[in-house]
Amino acid sequence: MEKLLHFLEGISPLETELKDFLTERLRTKVFPAKSYLLKAGHISRHIYFIEKGLVRCYYMLGARDISSWFMREGDVVVSVNSFFAQMVSVENIQAMEDCEVHYISYEELEETYKTFVGFNIHGRKILTHYYCLSEQRAASMRSMKAHERYTWLQQNEPWLLGRVPRKYLSSYLGVTEATMTNTRYALAKGKINQPINHPL
């Protein structure tokens, strides 16, 4: 819980009453690897902060499993459309490792915003941060070739390489698993040049 409070304090100081209010409402849960924080077809009722572990968000495109994003320790996890609109989700959020999370319900978060108006700053800045990351990544990926996408991953999200299976990384990068394997081999052998970093 201290990691979450420190995270929020880093955005904007928390008054003592707000900190106590949150502490009373926040709960902690462990999701075993492969279990779901949210399944498609359900409404997202909670927003999570990852204390420990790694989660993946994915959706189905026909028979294909497409990875949208990955979150790790220190990240906030939520299905934005489903949670904030309280509508049925088209996404799945799955634990890829044993995960310890702190969470609060939609109703409790709304209560917090109403009771402590200053806490709206935290909500806005968190959403802005993750939305910008998503948009920047999507814009970069659209202009990159396969080997450039893999190099982008190495430079910007290297922690994924040791924790996420290749089949999920390839769908995240929008390439086939075979293409990613060949790209890794070609880069390692120096058969293609490392592209200039695409800053995010």
pLDDT at position 196 over 80 = no
Side-chain half-sphere exposure of 133, counting CA atoms within 13 A: 14
Q: What is the pLDDT of residues 133-176, one digit of tens each?
A: 888 888 777 778 888 888 888 888 999 998 999 999 999 999 88
**CATH code, domain with 84:** 2.60.120.10
User: How far is residue 76's CA from residue 127's CA, in Å, rounded to a whole number?
Assistant: 9
* Parent domain of 162: 144-188
Residue 139 in domain: no
Count the domains in the chain: 2
Q: Helix 166-173 crosses helix 146-156 at what angle (to 10 degrees)?
A: 110
Domain match, 98 and 150 both: no
Domain match, 101 and 181 both: no
49 by Cβ neighbours in 10 Å (0-12 / 13-18 / 19+) ranks as buried
Q: What is the pLDDT of residues 20-32, one digit of tens each?
A: 999 999 999 999 9
Residue 121 in domain: no
At residue 192 the predicted structure's pLDDT band, cuts being 50, 70 and 90, is low
pLDDT at position 193 over 60 = no
